């Protein structure tokens, strides 16, 4: 896999910025989930779970919503490190 969990990326199809939260090998484990899921994997035939960046205030980034994406639809942020989620 080209990207790892916690890596900041841009979705080339939507133009949205966000962060990788899960891969097809390693599930995202939400603290709470309305459907009571313990682990969430990307949809079938997709590579990553992508959490969409909503806003950034006072060095805090707020994320809202997630989607399954293909590796070819992502591009790494320039000049950024990884962020813990």
List, as one string, the DSSP characters of 40-85: B-PPTT--EEEEEEEEEETTEEEEEEEEEE-GGGEEEPSS--B---
Q: Report if residue 82 sits inside a domain.
A: no
- The pTM assigned to this predicted structure is 0.84
Range of the domain at 44: 8-76
Residue for token pair 């490190």: 81
Residue 30 lies in a domain: yes
Q: What is the pLDDT of residue 4?
A: 95
> What is the tens place of the pLDDT at every residue in 41-72?
999 999 999 999 999 889 898 999 999 999 99
Q: Would you say residue 85 lies in a domain?
A: no
Q: Is residue 61 part of a domain?
A: yes
Decide if 38 is inside a domain.
Answer: yes
pLDDT on residue 59 = 86
Q: What is the largest CA-CA distance in the chain?
A: 37
**Is there a domain that residue 62 lies in?**
yes
Q: What is the mean pLDDT of the chain?
A: 90
- Structure confidence at residue 12 (pLDDT): 95
Number of domains, the chain? 1
Q: Which residues pair with 53 in a beta bridge?
A: 63
């Amino acid at each position: 896999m080209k990207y790892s969990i916690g890596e900041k990326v841009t979705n080339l199809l939507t133009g949205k910025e966000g962060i990788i939260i899960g891969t097809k090998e390693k599930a995202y484990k939400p603290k709470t989930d309305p459907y009571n899921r313990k682990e969430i994997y990307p949809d079938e035939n997709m590579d990553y779970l992508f959490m969409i960046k909503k806003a950034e205030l006072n060095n805090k980034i707020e994320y809202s919503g997630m989607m399954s994406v293909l590796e070819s639809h992502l591009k790494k942020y320039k000049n950024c490190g990884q962020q813990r989620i």
